[in-house]
Structure 1
Amino acid sequence: MQEKAPPNGTAHRGLVVWTLIVTGAATFMAALDNLVVTTALPVIRDDLGGDLSDLEWIVNGYTLPFACLLLLGAALGDRFGRRRVFAAGVALFTVASAAAALAGSTEVLIAARAAQGAGAAILLPLSLTLISAVVPPERRGTAFGIWGAVNGLAIASGPLIGGAITEHMSWQWIFWLNIPIGLAVLPLVLFRLTESRGPNDRLDLVGTVLASGGLFGVVLSIVRGHEHGWASGPVLTGFIVGGALLIAFVLFEMRTPNPMLPMRFFRSRTFSAVNAASLLMYLGMFGSIFLLTQFLQLIQGYSPQEAGLRMLPWTAMPMVVAPIAGALTDRIGGRSIVASGLTLMAVGLGWFALLAEPDVSYASQVPAFVLCGIGMAMFFAPTGAMVMGAVPAAEQGIASGVNNALREVGGALGVALLASIFATQGGYETPERFTDGLVPALWVGVIALLAATAVVLIAPGRRRAAAAPAATAASAPPRARTPVTADS
């Protein structure tokens, strides 16, 4: 396969800058909506009605299609052009945001959130491949560090932005905010980014149906486990059918000449370890933030904006730490940085669990917020470079889709699992009952983060990891490929 070289000199630097700006703005918008509604949930519940399961669905209604369609989004970009499909994702996300802002019932809001998730599933994995197309390999750690800082900031600042908008305007403006961003980004995508395609000239329809259907069954059962019971018929059916479809997907991908997900990727210890750690990290982080933002408001009495401001020691850290961690990844590799970040997050959540009482002071919580923020930034910055560096350059789109899909599955599992533990051990009746449920849920988050740390340490060091893409490419079976093009 041949790839047209990007322009040199000033023109190339300008192209890199525009690519980082445009993809950063689009992915910030998509990542922000993962958790932007968390501080607004009590207000939305008062306005539209609903119970704990409805609040979970407002969060997971976004996560479910996001997780299930990420592989499809990456495959569509490889087949029809990453810039073109990325633009379609931005457009869909923008329209769905307007629908969410106009929602007059919980059901309509959840449906609009699902459409947002579908748009995000298209644009998020392609953002990394668009960056890879214009950034030299030796500088990608820094570029992905910037990308990680933007996404980490978006996820972490969601509660602050959502709280401020909810308090001073209305919760609908959480979604109206996306409209001008989407309208500004869309023409820049079309006229400032280069086009590129992946190695396959065929869309793997069978693989797409099996993967999407399998993920849908498993994630839906995860989301519904608390509501219907983990051993109930519908939940078990979803796990069984979804699991069977995923097994069929693996078997089919091992035999088809043009797979949407080459199974040889998982021969790389780096690829496998980082993806497993991403799932566990999102499990611990998403579930904990879902409960902690409610703790600050419902138990400690802060307004939505006040709750968001008090999470600022967490949300500010990615802006400072992630670019530094990305630059260090270019020098020393990402394994030690990611493992250290996960450990810091586990310590931070453990700090919260030890202190969680209705009358605990905010000052005693600040170190925990800082540790979680630093740890999250150290995780986000290197993982993009590690995943993309573990596979051949032409197949980085699908690798990004896999990583983001597993992150979203982890997020859905975290919200469902920690909410289930919270509901079993406590409740909303009194402040004491809330903390009775919060503490064991946070300890589960700590366990997930420590497990992620152990998994990351399985990955090879920098020297051995450097040879992985070449080895993976050499083991790839011969198949028809189309040239990758890059035009301005």
Structure 2
Amino acid sequence: MTTTSARPRRAGDRVANPWPALWAMVVGFFMILVDSTIVAVANPSIMTDLNIGYDTVIWVTSAYLLAYAVPLLVAGRLGDRFGPRNLYLIGLAVFTVASLWCGLSGSVEMLITARVVQGLGAALLTPQTLSTITRIFPADRRGVAMSVWGATAGVATLIGPLAGGVLVDALGWEWIFFVNVPIGIVGLALAAWLIPDLPTQNHRFDLIGVLLSSLGVFLLVFALQEGQSHHWQPWIWAVIVAGIGLMTAFVYWQSINRAEPLIPLHIFADRNFSVANVAVAVIGFVSVAMMFPVMFYAQGVCGLSPTRSALLTAPTAIASGLLAPLVGKIVDRVHPRPVVGFGFSVLAIGITWLALDMTPTTPIWRLVVIFAVIGIGMAFIWSPLAATATRNLPPDLAGAGSGVFNATRQFGTVLGSAGMAAFMTWRLTAEMPAMPAGGHAGGVEGEILRLPDFLHIPFSAAMSQATLLPAFIALFGVAAALFMIGFGATVITTIHAQTGSRAGRTVDLGRGGREVDTDEIAPVDGSPGGPPAEDALPEDAVLEDPWHEDALQIAPSHAGTGGSSWDGVLPETFWPDPLEPAGGASLRAPETEELVALMHNETDTDRLRGLPLEHDGARVATPPPVPAAGDLAPPRRPHHDDIDTDELFRVDRMFNALGQPLHEPLDDSGGYGRHARRDRG
């Protein structure tokens, strides 16, 4: 079981103004993502300075990607256990020191080692940004926050080559690493000052899961990175098969691990989380794969320097950044399907247009327009995907979910890099058969790729055809968007951890949202008129997103006892006690812990909506009698019954959707009744 070191109330994670914390995290997150692509432009200079070949210099990038990708799953869980703020600070400190080490390296061996350490720091930091955003921002503002996070990811991926070109041309390759040091120091100071401490989850450490996932990801990434340079020899395929086998064993182990798995597989029961992971792998693939043929075309055919080649892609970053605030507002109000689908559609159209226009005679201004169109598409992808993936994750799964999401994105970038290298070589061989495979791409030794005029047409054709690969892959993002469901009304589902099956009956409320009656496997144990104790909710069952941020007014009342009533606003004023295996529901004041109301859950929401009861999921029982006022102080610790979230926290959307507000107590027997309405104040 998972325990917590602080009272696990969702509202307790919130801070009065979470924006300063977000801006502090953006500093480190941006720096790390820029470093994923900044080295590509500097490779020719590094080769010349350190007197090494292409097969060696590629490890400067590969080592970073491997060290970044492998620990991401573990880092998310470590953030849950030791606190996302602490892991963020450690990761940023490691990354900053390693950046200084990279710049001071006098040999390629030292540089590669420093890049490994740099990647480890990046892996510790990255998952903490997304999990912290999920926990400190309320749902009605989380979309805008995610738009900032998503825009940072999109812009950083494109700024990397631009920054690398400028620094290499002006100061030398060492400065692509030295520039991180002052930025990292400022980022550490801001993070220590502005990022709040959040309650931690005392997770068990899944050592077997760590070993299986780390080795599996390492073997897959290694084979994909090295496959092209080793001509996809049989041993490369053997490594790929071994990696797939280890990852299969990892998934199986997660499914049978009853203690606490590294990845709680039930988070994939949330369709949006699963679909968003597919989509973020697609955009990771596309954003990296697109840049390879573009850079070779710009330098080899258009004759641009590294800096000017990188400037060619600047409109993508500008368009994505300018649209980020607008997209953030849209995400909070609109179904994710058309938003993400629009983004991937525009992206696919833009890249296809780019591929068709990559000719020796294409004017530069037209390429600039195309990259602006691509930026519009990316603006509608990054932040909506982050918001969609994390919208329904409960706080104790925020770190694990963030780790999975970021690991999937990073794995997509690795696939994009390796896949495009193989595809480019294939098209170069086909279009320029007299040239050695990769002779004008993989073996570039100068700072600017120069080709004789008679090769411009076949080389342009090869790069154009290669660019069609990311355009085609982007269509998988469109397909993924079609499977998204709305989060206008949060999906609340109770999952039985042993069987993985959903419980309760799903009711469609429009806007793509769903309400699930949790009474079927969450009866009140031991309450008057309730079912027997053996039917109670299992301890390992998980309630996803039991909190709803919209204010509700809940008024308990009783008849025939002199009575009392109370009106309070949730969640700003009150929070529910932690889930416990038996009893009724209660509300306590957060500061004094004074018991202010008892709420009985044994009513099925079908009855509240006036719908017929169903024998397989509906139970109606008499609520317990109200204790005398004197019994409320000092408060006796109340029991919680894994409350029917439809009734207490989601009832506002349910009644708004069906037009049937409830104003009557549940019964006339002297028990607690309630009414609920949306707070319009």
Taking structure 2 as the reference length, what is the TM-score of the superposition? 0.66
- The alpha-carbon deviation at position 179 of structure 1 amounts to 0.4
Amino acid at match of 1:308: A
The reply to whether residue 362 of structure 1 matches residue 364 of structure 2 is yes
The separation in 2 between residues aligned to 1:258 and 1:136, in whole angstroms, is 28
- Kindly tell me: are residues 4 and 283 of structure 1, through their superposed partners in 2, closer, same or farther at Cα, counting changes over 3 Å? closer
Q: Name the counterpart of 1:457.
A: 482
Is 1:2 matched with 2:3? Answer: no
User: In the aligned structure 2, how far is the partner of 1:145 from the partner of 1:296?
Assistant: 31
Deviations 1:93-121 (A, max 9, x none): 11111122123344433332222221111
CA contact 1:253–1:259 (8 Å) conserved in 2? yes
Name the SS for the 1:292 alignment partner: helix
Mapped contact 1:279–1:411 kept (Cα < 8 A): yes
Residues 415/144 of structure 1: CA separation in 2 closer, same or farther (3 Å cut): same
Note if contact 1:204-1:258 (Cα within 8 Å) is conserved in structure 2.
yes
Q: Which residue of 1 aligns with 2:539?
A: 478
1:226 match: secondary structure: coil
Among 314, 317, 339, which residue is 1:315 paired with?
317
CA distance in 2, matches of 1:316, 1:75: 34
1:346 corresponds in structure 2 to 348
Residue pairs, 1:32-431, within 5 angstroms: 32-54=34-56, 56-230=58-232, 232-256=233-257, 257-426=259-428, 427-429=438-440, 430=451, 431=455
Residues 207 and 253 of structure 1 are in contact (CA less than 8 Å); yes or no, is this contact kept in structure 2? yes
> How much is the aligned-residue C-alpha RMSD, in angstroms?
2.4
Task: Give the Cα–Cα distance (whole angstroms) in 1 for the partners of residues 418 and 146 of structure 2.
Answer: 30
Contact 1:159 1:293 in 2 (8 A): no
Compare 320-329 and 436-445 and name the one that shifted more: 436-445
- What SS class does the counterpart of residue 303 from structure 2 fall into? coil
Q: Contact between 1:78 and 1:198, CA under 8 Å: does it hold in 2? A: yes
Distance 1:7 1:34 in 2: 31
1:31 aligns with 2:22: no
Task: Count residues with an aligned counterpart.
Answer: 476
Which residue does the alignment assign to 1:467?
491
For residue 478 of structure 1, what is the amino acid of its counterpart?
A: E
Q: Give the distance between the partners of 1:243 and 1:287, measured in 2 at CA.
A: 23
State whether structure 2 residue 443 is matched by structure 1 residue 443: no
Question: Secondary structure at 2:380's aligned position in 1?
Answer: helix
**2: CA distance, partners of 1:477 / 1:450:** 42
Letter in 2 for 1:243: I
TM-superposed CA distance for 1:4, in Å, is: 6.7
Higher relative contact order (CA 8 A, sep 6+): 1
Report Cα offsets for 1:149-192 as digits up to 9, x if no partner: 22222111111111111111112111111101111122332332
Deviates more, 1:330-339 or 1:173-182: 330-339
**TM-aligned CA distance change 1:82 to 1:479, over 3 Å:** farther
Report deviation, 1:55. Answer: 5.1
**What is the CA–CA distance in structure 2 between the aligned matches of 1:200 and 1:470, rounded to whole Å?**
22
Q: Is contact 2:39–2:161 with CA below 8 Å preserved after alignment?
A: yes
Larger relative helix fraction: 1
Deviations 1:405-428 (A, max 9, x none): 111111111111111111222145
Give the Å deviation of 1:472: 8.8
SS of the residue aligned with 1:12? coil
CA gap of 1:468–1:57, structure 2 versus 1, over 3 A, is farther
Question: Structure 2 regions of 5+ residues with no counterpart?
Answer: 1-6, 429-437, 441-450, 504-536, 543-577, 579-681
**In structure 2, do the counterparts of structure 1 residues 160 and 468 end up closer, same or farther at CA, with 3 Å as the change threshold?**
farther
**One-letter code aligned to 1:467:** V
Q: 1:386-444 deviations in whole A, cap 9, x for unaligned?
A: 11114223201111111111111111111111111112221454453543432222111
Task: Call closer, same or farther: CA 1:30–1:7 in 2, change over 3 Å.
Answer: closer
**Within 2, Cα distance between the matches of 1:51 and 1:377?**
38
How has the CA–CA distance of structure 1 residues 56 and 336 changed in structure 2, closer, same or farther, with 3 Å as cutoff? farther
Q: CA separation in 2, counterparts of 1:109 and 1:457?
A: 44
- 1:297 CA displacement: 2.4
Distance in 2 separating the partners of 1:394 and 1:225: 39
Do the aligned residues in 1 keep the contact of 2:496 with 2:541 (CA within 8 Å)? no
- Give the deviation of 1:53 after TM superposition: 4.0
8 Å Cα contact 2:333-2:488 kept in structure 1: no
Structure 1 unpaired stretches of 5+: 484-488
Q: Deviations over 1:277-304 (max 9, x none)?
A: 1112211220111331232223322222
Deviates more, 1:19-28 or 1:337-346: 337-346
CA contact (8 A) 1:29 1:178 kept: yes
CA displacement 1:311-344 (0-9 Å, x = unmatched):
2111212211122112110011323211211111
SS of the equivalent of 1:229 reads coil
Offset of residue 51 of structure 1: 4.8
TM-superposed deviation, 1:454: 0.7
Q: Is the 8 A contact 2:217 2:243 kept in 1?
A: yes
Partner of 2:614: none
CA distance in 1, matches of 2:254, 2:297: 45
1:480 shift after superposition: 11
Structure with the higher strand share, 1 or 2: 2
Residue of structure 2 in register with 1:12 after alignment = 16
Alpha-carbon distance in 1 for matches of 2:250, 2:52: 37
- The offset of 1:229, in angstroms, is 2.9
Which one is further off, 194-203 or 217-226?
194-203
Once the two structures are overlaid, the 10-residue window that deviates more, 294-303 or 140-149, is 294-303
Q: Is the 8 A contact 1:419 1:441 kept in 2?
A: no
What does residue 486 of structure 1 align with? none
Give per-residue Cα distances to partners, 1:78-135, cap 9 Å, x unaligned.
Answer: 1122111111100111111112212334443333222222111111111111222221
User: What secondary structure, in the 3-state scheme, does the structure 2 residue paired with 1:22 have?
Assistant: helix
Letter in 1 for 2:9: E
Larger Cα-atom Rg: 2
Query: Residues of 2 paired with 1:383 and 1:355: CA distance?
Result: 30
SS for the counterpart of 2:77 is helix
Q: Distance in 2 between matches of 1:86 and 1:330?
A: 27
Residue 22 in structure 1 maps to residue 24 in structure 2: yes
